[in-house]
Each structure stands twice: as C-alpha cells, then as structure tokens.
Structure 1
C-alpha cells in the first residue's frame, strides 16, 4: 500500500457545516475534521451531548473549544479514546513512511548525493554541513546514513573512472583519426592548467567532441611540461596511434612542446 493510500484511509474529513443560524459568527464554526463534533448532535439552534443528552445554546457553544470543556469535565474517557485513535492514525502514517524508507538502500542514497554534488558543483564537505543534515532528515525518520565527505570523494572518483572508461571506449571505436585541441593558462591562485579536447567523426558521420583532461601542470607553461601532459592523456586513452593533428595557439612554448612530444612518442 502506498503512502497516499494510507493517508486516504486515515484522513476521513467531512465538509464544512455552514447550515447554522445566520446570526452566528461563521468563523467560529469549526470544520467537521474536529473529533468534538462526533460527540454532539445539532438540534435546531442547540447542540445536544450524545452521552448525557445535555443541550447547549449554539450561539454560546458554537466553537468546539466550549464543547470540549464539557467533554473533558463530564466525559474524559471519551476524549482519551479519541486521542488514542488519533495517535494510532499518526503511527499508521509514520509506519507507511518508514516502510518506504526501508526500501531505500545506503548505496542508492550515496549514488543520488554523489550525482547531486557532481551536477551542481558542490564541495565534498556539504554532506557534513548541519543544514544538509536537517534537509535530509526532514520526513526521513528511517533513512540510510548520510555519507561523509570522504565517502563522497571516493564515490566521485569512482564516477570519474567510469566516465573516463566510457570515453576511452568511444575513442577506441572511432572509425577514423582523432584530433586534439589544447590550451593552457594560469589561474589567479598561481596554478597552471592544461585543457585538452578530442574531436572526431563517428561511424554515423556525426561530429563528436569531448574534454579529456584538465591537467594541473607542475611549474610554468614550459614546452617540456606541456609535452609530458599531452603524452599522459594520449597514453591514458590509448589514442597515440589514432592521432591526426594537434591544434594550439601560436605561443612560443608550443614549438618546444611539439619537439618534446615527438621525442617522447618515438621512444614509446
């Protein structure tokens, strides 16, 4: 049974009763969702207690709070029974949520959180933030444990390896040659980066392009460092034999890079 079906069974709510004397304040007439209405019968302009048959003027006792005082004073056992029933309904709802949550595995939760962090570019440590705990805990009384930042880090690296393997397989299955494009720059933090793209035509004559690496260089943009970075990527994806061309800007260090790369390829 789904949670929605459980809620439909336990939430038996009647319509609002507005068939009262027009002199009565309509705002004071509560909805029949209140259990108090079950203990009284409306007779003309009066309410009659179903247990002791005492009558109450509707103008004075239109609000359920006044009639509830009578029940608490004269018929406390009836009120206690209602409270027990309400608690039972609450437990049914909680059990329905808990039953669904037991079907949620820890691996599924880790997969979804990992995907969320990757697609929204969140830091690993977001899973250790108090606000994130509060978000995940909302309505999740029996949810799997929230993974730590270290667990998320491992999961993201695992996703990276999976995607890298898929890209490698695409490159290996390319029917023709593959061209590379590269550029490098230094960030405000002083770190140097080397971005490398692969482009090719697939078996259906569709143009394909994918990023292969966003390499952090050791030192500055020297041609030797760029050549080592380029060879590393070519070797990891096994595309050296399929290489057709490399496109870069006309910076002086690219001449050195090509000479060094030619030397490395001849030795390997």
Structure 2
C-alpha cells in the first residue's frame, strides 16, 4: 500500500442517502498504487468487520446485480465506514464499490489475480447452459412425438375404417377430420391420398398372404356375385372362398377378390377371366375349386359351365325369389293393399306413428 491517507475519499464513502455524515473512516482507507502487487485499480479496506448489505437500511432501488462480475463477488458492508464493499469469492479480499457503482475495479482484480479461476468458471457455466438447452420444454414433454410403430398402427386402422365404411379417401383431407385425429394424438399427421392408396395395397397383399396359407392344399367352393355400390364408379364382382378342415370342425370363409367390372357388357367370358385372374393371383388351381355358387343369372350358369365347375344356385337367392313370387299371388294382393295403406298413413302423421309405437 502507498501509506497515504485520503480523507476526501473516506468522506465520500461515508455519505448516506439521508443526508447524514457517518463517522470519519479516513484512518482505515488507503489508496492502492497502480503498479503495486495488490489490486491495481481497487480501493481496499483493511477492516475485517463486514455485514450483509441487505442488513443496512437504504432507499428502495433495484439491488439485483446486472454485471456478470457478481458471479465472483458478494456484496457486504463495512460496519465502521458504513460503506458497501465487494468480497472476492476466490481470495476473500474486500474492495470498495464506487458511488458510480461501476465494476471496473472488480474486473481488474479478477483479470490480474484470478484469470485461471474465471476461465474455469466460465467453462462450467457454458456446460451447464448447454445442459439446460438440451432439457425438453414442458410443452414438448406433454406433446409426445409419435413413434414409427404407433404411426403405422394408426395408419392401418385408418385405412381399415375407410374400407369398411366405404368412405372416399378425400375424407381424410377434410380439416375437421384432421382436427379429430390431432385431438387423439397431436403429433399424428394424416397421410395423403397417394400414401393411403399405397397403404391399402400393402394391406391387400397381407390379406392375400393369409388367404394363401388358409386355402393351401384344400378343396374350396367359391361364391360369385355382381353388385354395384353408390360410392363406386363401376360394378364390382365379389368372389369369396369357403373351405372345411380335414375333420370338418373348422370352417374357413375368406374374401378372395372384389374385381371391378369397368366394361359395358358383362359377359360370361369377362366374368370367367376375372375369376381365373383372382385364383391365379392367390395360387389356387382351378382343379381345387369344387363348386361355384351364384344367383340364377344365365351369365353365371354359363361361366361355371365354361370353367368346368359344378354350379349351385344360391339358396338365399332362391328364398328371395320365392317370397317375391308369393307376394304377387292374388290371395296376397288384398292384404298387401291394406298394409301399404296403413304404412302410408303412419308415415304422413307423426301423431299416428307415436300412437302405433305405444
């Protein structure tokens, strides 16, 4: 230390916010030599009596240290001088805080005395910051990302739903439908129409593989029926397969195909080619087909004959034809007329319909 007392500096530190002058501290304060081995820019105190700065009453002001230098110092108060000081966390040295509240002297102390310690501290702080950045946010935790297996499972259930409900694929592109799926799983993205078609073809291939294993080396009977759907642009030819186990205890019923009939004329040759194409795709030889069941249409009868397969008229179709023929008998006409009249009255009057239900 230079050994020179500076009364003016001590008086400056003794001034408080209430306008009162504290006891003279000039004997305790010494000015540092800028070229001394001690801190070159700090005004140091030789007193060891300090207390927390929070214990000293002072006007309300923001006390949160804004400079990063306060990571290496803690605030205190010199009791004798009633002046704020900064105590170094590394060496315990106390440095006065200027009235301007600048931290230049504190920074100089760190750079000249504790450069290595500061660098280590900054490295640890950087690592901790990186760790905090890696931690997921609360909203990210609750918004779980969907896994590959879970997405594939939802995709499969979606295409099965569309197929069984006979819904058009563009339904999945409706905003309300996408919102429904997001409410079930926020991370799920609805597949495009092109992707849905690929998924459906993949599902059909899997079903075909199962059908091949089920019908392997078994004699089967097929049913053939031509029908139209309101959602389809053409007629469809449904082909199902039926087989029994070796001990007749297991009955197997599978859908072999649902082939589109886009041609204008549905001849027996066209139906025959569709059947053979389906059997070939599944690896079922024509010789393994024992019977062909269909309605009484002449096209179906001729198709079975051309294939060399025994034809059986569908029992359910025969019953349907029998009921239709019975309703046309004269003895039924009078009863049907009365029934139709009652139904018509009920449909036109809500009051009568309610009375009828009661």
TM-score by length of 2: 0.41
1:118 aligned residue (160, 169, 178): 160
Map Cα deviations across residues 143-198 of structure 1 (whole Å, 9 max, x no partner): 25432121122111111111111111111153xx1111112245567733222111
Task: Tell me how far apart the structure 2 counterparts of residues 168 and 135 of structure 1 sit (CA, whole Å).
Answer: 37
* Alpha-carbon displacement from aligned partner over 1:29-76 (angstroms, at most 9, x marks no partner): xxxxxxxxxxxxxxxxxxxxxxxxxxxxxxxxxxxxxxxxxxxxxxxx
Matched, 1:180 2:226: no
Residue 140 of structure 1: how far off its partner (Å):
5.5
- Relative distance call for 1:171 and 1:132 in structure 2 (3 A) is same
The CA distance in 1 between the partners of 2:185 and 2:223, in whole Å, is: 48
Q: Which residue of the partner structure matches residue 206 of structure 1?
A: 250
Give the TM-score taking structure 1 as reference length. Answer: 0.54
Assess if the C-alpha contact under 8 Å between 1:179 and 1:198 holds in 2.
yes
The yes-or-no answer on 1:222 pairing with 2:282 is no
More helix by share: 1
Answer 1 or 2: higher relative contact order, Cα 8 Å, separation at least 6: 1
Which residue among 134, 137, 140 is the counterpart of 2:179? 134
Aligned partner (choices 172, 175, 191) of residue 234 of structure 2: 191
On the 8 A contact 1:195/1:215 being kept in 2, the answer is yes
Match of 2:344 in 1: none
The aligned counterpart of 1:246 is: 292
Mapped contact 2:181–2:188 kept (Cα < 8 A):
no
Unaligned runs of 5+ in 1: 1-90, 264-268
**Bigger Cα Rg:** 2
- Cα offset for 1:250? 2.5
- Structure 2: distance between partners of 1:147 and 1:181: 35
Against the structure 1 CA distance between its residues 134 and 144, is the aligned structure 2 distance closer, same or farther, given a 3 Å change threshold?
closer
Q: Is the 8 A contact 2:223 2:239 kept in 1?
A: yes
| Distance (Å, rounded) in 2 between the aligned partners of 1:107 and 1:126 | 24
Shift of 1:93: 4.2
Q: 1:166 and 2:234 equivalent?
A: no
Deviation of the 1:211 alpha carbon: 1.6
Distance 1:136 1:214, change over 3 A: closer
Partner of 2:307: 261
Gaps of 5+ in 2: 1-135, 310-358
